[in-house]
Structure 1
Amino acid sequence: MTRSTTSPVVMGVMALELAAGSTPRRAALSAADASGLAEKLGRDLATHAPQVRDLDLVFAGAHFDPAEALRPGWPLHQRLRELHQRAPGRGDGARVMAFGADDTGDIPMPLQADDGLRGGLLRVLPFVLSGDVSAVEAVAERLESVLLETGMAQADTALLAQTAFGAQIEHARYMTLHDLAAMTAMQYDHGGLGALWPVIETALMAPTDEAWLDAVPEPLLRYASGEVHIALFEPMAWRARYATQEATDERLERAYQHFQARQQQIAAVLEAHGIPVTFAHCPAKTDARDTLKS
């Protein structure tokens, strides 16, 4: 489970796998339903790591796309940490704090999901565990080792989530952020985006490092300083790099259009992960790598 480098906290998600064609009727739970689901979540996690009972549990009763949980700086979980730090009762023993819609049904900004990322069959609900450093480390180590294989939510937990969100849920399980990242990497690989994952992983795990996607026929891009620059090739520059074999003008035009669509797809995936993207103009007879470095 991903650990903070600044305070004793561990982070994970409750993952809801929806039935095909199902869309949850509610984006966020009422305060009462969020609290009830958090209590069951804490109980379930404690069956794997009993020291969970000694930690504060902070839970968002709202569902998000997995990409929203896998963004540099872990912003969903950072929001929960901020809410936890402002909450009263510190030092009064382990607490369960759940956040959902307000009394009028409006969803506060920290719990508002990205409208452009709705519709996927996997939705995640973030949670944070905080407390004594030794207990946090013990829980983190234990959950990292067991949740991927045995992290299914108990039946009454899944039923409450299904009823409260108004969704048809096939499976409900718990994951560490590392588990979620590994699962996403596998899905991207199966979906033909495996070459992009190392760039995303660098932005998540080592944001001050540099990473390249430099593998024909993929678009050329560079991650550095928190953003990605994608080489925007003029037609002749593209032909020199990607179309070295003889081909008709019609086939070349189709291939160029396919390449441009691939660039847009990759840019959309990066932006879903909260990684800013800019396109760098690369004319013919220039070194595109040098352009991306400038």
Structure 2
Amino acid sequence: MEAQSLVALPIVLALELSSGEAPARITLSRDEAAELAALIAADLHGLVPQIDQARLAVAGALFDTVELLRPGFPVWATLDELAKRVPRGHLDNVVAFGTHEGHMPAQPLEPEATYADGPMRLLPLSLLAPETLAAELSESLEVELVGRGEAGARTADWLMRTLGVRLEHVRYLSRNDLLAMTCVQYEHVNLAALWTLLEAALLTPYREETALSARGLALRYAEGKISVQSPADWLRTQSSEPAQRAHDLAGILFELRQYAALLEAHHLPVSLHSEHASATGAEHGYLLEVLGTLEPAYGAPALHAHEAPGLGVVAVTLAQRGDGGRARVLVHGYPLHSKALGSLVTALAERYGIPAELHALGRIVLDADGHLAAPSHALH
């Protein structure tokens, strides 16, 4: 069976941890991975006997959903590539990859510690089947795993003993099952628009997709990237009274942070789309939109921090004092998490040659037209 004739059928072994449990480690050694692979092969044979005609590949590592559902499915792609290099017949056509001297055989198979504390751990598997068998085997797996996908008692017991955890459930899922489950989870927490974009990036990366968040922020996927409507632009479309507009903007900025964190976890870069900016920027942890140029006739610009209850600083505005003390906005910056605020302030201070001093406003400041702004009077 030549490597070129193999079709990969991605599967996952999902471990649902009991409350308060955490595995002592997130990778298995080579020998441990081989032991587990033998148990998995027996489980799958009991569900779909045709798997004996395919090659089972097992990665001895525990991942979070966000690590597996990334453009190009790099974990499965790496697992498939490594498995195809192993001569047919090796270990009865079951191949397993674990750590050697503390490292997995390829970087994509190394789980990230950042995502290691979730309640469900996922161990990636792949069946490499001949083209003539792949469609039939895939259909059988989809049916059998949904109805009878619970792992065998020996497999579950081995995992609990080896990882030192109690498990509520251990079951096999196809990648389609994992996609469907993730869709439901995101929809349940009002992130259906995020799923729309992620699904496009995963399954139809060549197509553009647009969506509207639950609070009304416009989002677009194209060419492997997500562009997000400028919060300041979104604010311009609102017509409620000022206090409500400021409150709603805080909600939009909270939502933006949610989206940015999850999209980063799924390895989808985020950029800002602005109808009114001369330039936009996306750095690690914050987004920028440039709205004006420095006017030498006016005073030196200053940095102002817009704040919202429970969220801290949600936006930073760089502005000069114009005629009559009116604020002339040059830049809006949006920290996507609290740790990015310092980097944002430093970057703007260095760019405009001013002290890295942030004037706390205690609220979100809007101008007379209801736009995001800076105070129109001198700060004391």
> Which TM-score band applies after superposition, normalised by the shorter structure?
0.7 to 0.9
Aligned residues: 273
What does residue 239 of structure 1 align with? 235
When you count helix as a share of all residues, which structure comes out higher?
A: 1
**1:271 equivalent in alignment to 2:264:** yes
Q: Work out whether residues 28 and 165 of structure 1, in 8 Å CA contact, stay in contact via their aligned partners in 2.
A: no
Distance 1:221 1:34, change over 3 A: same
**How far, CA to CA, are the matches of 2:102 and 2:212 in structure 1?**
48
Q: 1:125 to 1:240 in 2, by over 3 A?
A: same
- Runs of 4+, deviation exceeding 4 Å: 91-94
Asked if the contact 2:21–2:166 (Cα under 8 Å) also holds between the matched residues in 1, the reply is: yes
- 1:105: Cα distance to partner? 3.1
SS at match of 1:8: strand
The residue type paired with residue 24 of structure 1 is: P
In 2: Cα distance, 1:135 partner to 1:93 partner: 21
Q: In the alignment, which residue of structure 2 is the partner of 1:59? A: 58
Question: Which of 251, 254, 257 is equivalent to 1:261?
Answer: 254
Range with greater deviation from structure 2 (256-265 or 208-217): 208-217
Asked whether the 8 Å contact 2:11–2:174 carries over to 1, the reply is yes
Pairwise CA RMSD: 2.1
How big is the shift at 1:67? 1.7
Contact 1:54/1:131 (8 A) holds in 2: yes
- Give the alignment partner of residue 111 of structure 1, picking from 81, 84, 109: 109
TM superposition shift of 1:206 = 0.7
The structure-2 alpha-carbon separation of the partners of 1:118 and 1:135, relative to structure 1 and needing over 3 Å to count, comes to same
Contact 2:194–2:213 (CA<8 Å) still a contact in 1? no
**Cα distance, 1:233 vs structure 2:** 2.8
The residue aligned with 1:25 is 24
Q: Return the letter of the residue paired with 1:206.
A: T
Instruction: State whether residues 14 and 172 of structure 1, in contact with CA within 8 Å, keep that contact through their aligned partners in structure 2.
Output: yes
The one-letter amino acid paired with 1:39 is: A
Amino acid at match of 2:97: F
| Distance of 2:249 and 2:213 partners within structure 1 | 16
Which residue number in structure 1 is paired with residue 148 of structure 2?
Answer: 150
Q: Deviations over 1:19-55 (max 9, x none)?
A: 1222111110121211111111111111111011121
2:223 corresponds to: 225
2:9 corresponds in structure 1 to 10
Alignment gaps of 5+ in structure 1? 285-294
Q: Give the Cα–Cα distance (whole angstroms) in 2 for the partners of residues 199 and 248 of structure 1.
A: 32
| Structure 2 residues without counterparts, runs of 5 or longer | 278-380
If the length of structure 2 is used for normalisation, what is the TM-score?
0.67
TM alignment of 1:147-186, pairs within 5 A: 147-186=145-184
Deviation at 1:278, TM superposition (A): 1.4
Q: Structure 2 vs 1, CA of residues 33 and 200 (structure 1 numbering), >3 Å: closer, same or farther?
A: same
TM-score by length of 1: 0.86
Asked which structure has the greater RCO (Cα within 8 Å, sep 6+), the reply is 1
**Bigger shift: residues 274-283 or 37-46:** 274-283
Q: Structure 2: how far apart are the matches of 1:21 and 1:215?
A: 33
CA distance in 1, matches of 2:114, 2:218: 26
Aligned counterpart, 1:290: none
